[in-house]
Structures are given as structure tokens and as C-alpha cells.
């Protein structure tokens, strides 16, 4: 078991990526504290984990609320003694996607930038304070391919993802000398997730393509000729969270299956 006895906190654990990563971390022996803005979906994931023989507790925590994140981490360290892994998978809808930048108002442009950077900064900083005391831990981020490649009609989403990747590197530069790694995952759109079904569905309709045709078009840009899966992302997350990845920090894993050059 790669994560035996590791204590992990997941933000946005009721979502597609947070839930898949929670199940994978639990299979590898992690003791999990799952959080989300709404309790019900997080509780559902925790129930699944426990039913499968894993360890998970659910809590309602808004990742944008400094006090709530801090209080939750205090309760985790009181109960479990440490925080070894902090995995942030929060995602906010982008209702203004498909609006060209020249027509986008500044509030809508700024929303993903301020939301993602705040959530990632707060959760990382508050976890790091606990991890530094033990000179050990891993902070993990999730971004998307518009961080690195010109992508039309994603509003402030691309700049937000680029900022989170920069934060990942800069946190690593400060924390890794003291034993705390900071790594990111950059998946491509995974069609099995509700978020991608909804957003790519909109792009497909606007391009006059069916959902299947649109997926085929995206898959044709990868080296494998297919899009990646949540299970594949979760496997990489397990490895990156584990001590086997001790040689990796200040970097973002490119999970685009070749569609995006490093
Ligand atoms: N899905 C993909 O294929 C894919 C690919 C590349 C990158 N990503 C990125 O990965 C992230 C997660 O994607 P996903 O598909 O897992 O999205 P998702 O299914 O929508 O999950 C996101 C979760 O974050 C929660 N959340 C939002 N704001 C929060 C807050 N302030 N505090 C706590 N929890 C909050 C959401 O809760 P509510 O439901 O209550 O809003 C939801 O449970 C996003 O940043 C997305 O851009 C996803």
C-alpha cells in the first residue's frame, strides 16, 4: 500500500476528481478527511470509501473560507496527529465560457482567477503550516490544459490555471527545502465527468458537432487516439502523493496524453 498511515485532506471531495482521488488514496491505505462546500456529496464518497474497507470522514468546509479551512485542519491534527497530504480538487462552473475575451466583462474574467488562486493559496498555506512542523508532507494542485496552451473561449479560466501552476512552483521553492513537496496534476478533459459533459457539450453544439464527434476530434489530438480517464488520473495522484515520488516537486504532471507538449 503506497499511502499506508498517511493522513490526507481532500478539498472538493464530492466532485468527480476529488471523489476518484479519495477512493484511490483510500485503497492505498490513507486515512482521509474529505471536505466540500456541500456535505451530502462528500458524505456519499466517504460512505463508499468506508464500505470498501477504507477510512474517511466527511466535513462541510468552504475552501474559500480561511477560518473554516483552519478549524478543520486543527480538528484533523487533533484527531490524527498530522496532515501528510493536502489535495485540492475544487472546481467552479464557468457559465460565461464561450464568450469571447473582447466581449467579457472584467468581473466575469476575474472570477475564476480570484476564486482558484484564493482557494489554492489558503488550503496550501494552512496545510503547509502544519506540515512544516513535521518537515514532511505533500501539497497537490489540479489545473487544466489552458494553463499552457492558447485556448479560445475559456474566459479567465486559462489565466487562473496558469496562476495555480505558478503558485505550485513557488510554494515548492519555499517549502521543499523544509521537507514539504508541492506538485500539480494537469489532466485533459475527461468525458466521463459531469463538468466536461456539460462544458464540452456546449462547445460541441456550438460547433455543430455531436458529443461523440466532438470527443473523437479531441481524442485525435492525443498520441493514444483516446482521452484519459479518471482512474488513470487517480493512479498518478496516488504515486505523486506517495514517498515513491520523493524526487518530484515544483512540477506539474502533464496528463494530456501527448496532445500538449511539455
Ligand atoms: N473534469 C475534468 O475532466 C477536468 C479536466 C481538467 C481539469 N479539471 C479541473 O479539476 C477541477 C475539478 O474538476 P471536477 O471535474 O472534479 O469538478 P466537479 O465535479 O465540479 O467538482 C468540483 C467540486 O468542488 C466543489 N467546490 C466548489 N467550490 C468549492 C469551495 N469553495 N469549497 C469547497 N468545495 C468547492 C464543488 O462543489 P459544488 O458542487 O457544491 O459546487 C464540487 O464538489 C476543476 O478545477 C477543473 O477545472 C477537470
The model's pLDDT over 36-71, given as tens digits with 9 standing for 90+, comes to 999 999 999 999 999 999 999 999 999 999 999 999
**CA dist., res. 42 & res. 36, Å (int):** 6
Top mutation candidate among 15, 88, 140, 228 for ligand 1, by most atoms within 8 Å of CB = 15
**CA dist., res. 57 & res. 137, Å (int):** 20
For residues 90-112, average pLDDT? 89
Binned at pLDDT 50, 70 and 90, residue 95 comes out as: low
Q: Tell me the average pLDDT of the chain.
A: 96
Cβ atoms within 10 Å, residue 116: 27
pLDDT at 96: 62
What residues does 251 pair with on adjacent strands?
183
What residues does 67 pair with on adjacent strands?
none
* Nearest CA, atom 12, ligand 1: 91
Q: DSSP 3-state assignment of 154?
A: coil
pLDDT at 262: 86
CA 122–ligand 1 middle distance (angstroms):
16
Digit-coded pLDDT (tens) for 135-145:
999 999 999 99
pTM > 0.95: yes or no? yes
Strands 251-255 and 137-142: what pairing?
unpaired
**CA dist., res. 39 & res. 125, Å (int):** 23
CA 256–ligand 1 middle distance (angstroms):
18
The helix (H) or strand (E) run that includes residue 97 is none
Q: DSSP 3-state assignment of 111?
A: helix
Binned at pLDDT 50, 70 and 90, residue 244 comes out as: very high
pLDDT at 94: 74
Is residue 11 within 8 A of residue 63, CB to CB? The reply is yes
* Nearest CA, atom 42, ligand 1: 15
Is residue 141 within 8 A of residue 170, CB to CB? The reply is no
Over 70: is that where the pLDDT of 211 sits?
yes
Is residue 157 within 8 A of residue 114, CB to CB? The reply is no
Residue 54 grid coordinates = 477504507
Of ligand 1's listed atoms, the one at least distance from the Cα of 65 is 31
Is residue 89 within 8 A of residue 133, CB to CB? The reply is no
CA 134–ligand 1 middle distance (angstroms):
30
Which residues touch 64 (CB under 8 Å, ≥6 apart)? 115, 118, 119, 122
Of ligand 1's listed atoms, the one at least distance from the Cα of 191 is 3
Digit-coded pLDDT (tens) for 146-198:
999 999 889 999 999 999 999 999 999 999 999 999 999 999 999 999 998 88
Binned at pLDDT 50, 70 and 90, residue 26 comes out as: very high
Amino acid at each position: 500500500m503506497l499511502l499506508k498511515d498517511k493522513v490526507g485532506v481532500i478539498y472538493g471531495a464530492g466532485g468527480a476528481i476529488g471523489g476518484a482521488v479519495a477512493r484511490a488514496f483510500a485503497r492505498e491505505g490513507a486515512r482521509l478527511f474529505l471536505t466540500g462546500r456541500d456535505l451530502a456529496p462528500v458524505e456519499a464518497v466517504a460512505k463508499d470509501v468506508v464500505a470498501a474497507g477504507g477510512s474517511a470522514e466527511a466535513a462541510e468546509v468552504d475552501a474559500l473560507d480561511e477560518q473554516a479551512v483552519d478549524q478543520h485542519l486543527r480538528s484533523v491534527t487533533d484527531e490524527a496527529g498530522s496532515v501528510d497530504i493536502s489535495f485540492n480538487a475544487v472546481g467552479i462552473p464557468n457559465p460565461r465560457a464561450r464568450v469571447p475575451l473582447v466581449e467579457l466583462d472584467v468581473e466575469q474574467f476575474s472570477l475564476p482567477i480570484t476564486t482558484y488562486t484564493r482557494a489554492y493559496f489558503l488550503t496550501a498555506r494552512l496545510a503547509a503550516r502544519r506540515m512544516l512542523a513535521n518537515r514532511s508532507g505533500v501539497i497537490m494542485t489540479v489545473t487544466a490544459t489552458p494553463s499552457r496552451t492558447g485556448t479560445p473561449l475559456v474566459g479567465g479560466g486559462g489565466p487562473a490555471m496558469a496562476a495555480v501552476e505558478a503558485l505550485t512552483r513557488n510554494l515548492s521553492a519555499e517549502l521543499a527545502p523544509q521537507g514539504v513537496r508541492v506538485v500539480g496534476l494537469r489532466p485533459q478533459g475527461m468525458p466521463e465527468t459531469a463538468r466536461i459533459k456539460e462544458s464540452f457539450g456546449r462547445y460541441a453544439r456550438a460547433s455543430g458537432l455531436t458529443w461523440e464527434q466532438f470527443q473523437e476530434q479531441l481524442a485525435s489530438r492525443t498520441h493514444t487516439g483516446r482521452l484519459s480517464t479518471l482512474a488513470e488520473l487517480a493512479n498518478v495522484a496516488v504515486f505523486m502523493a506517495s514517498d515513491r515520488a520523493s524526487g518530484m516537486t515544483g512540477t506539474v504532471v502533464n496528463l494530456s496524453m501527448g496532445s500538449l507538449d511539455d
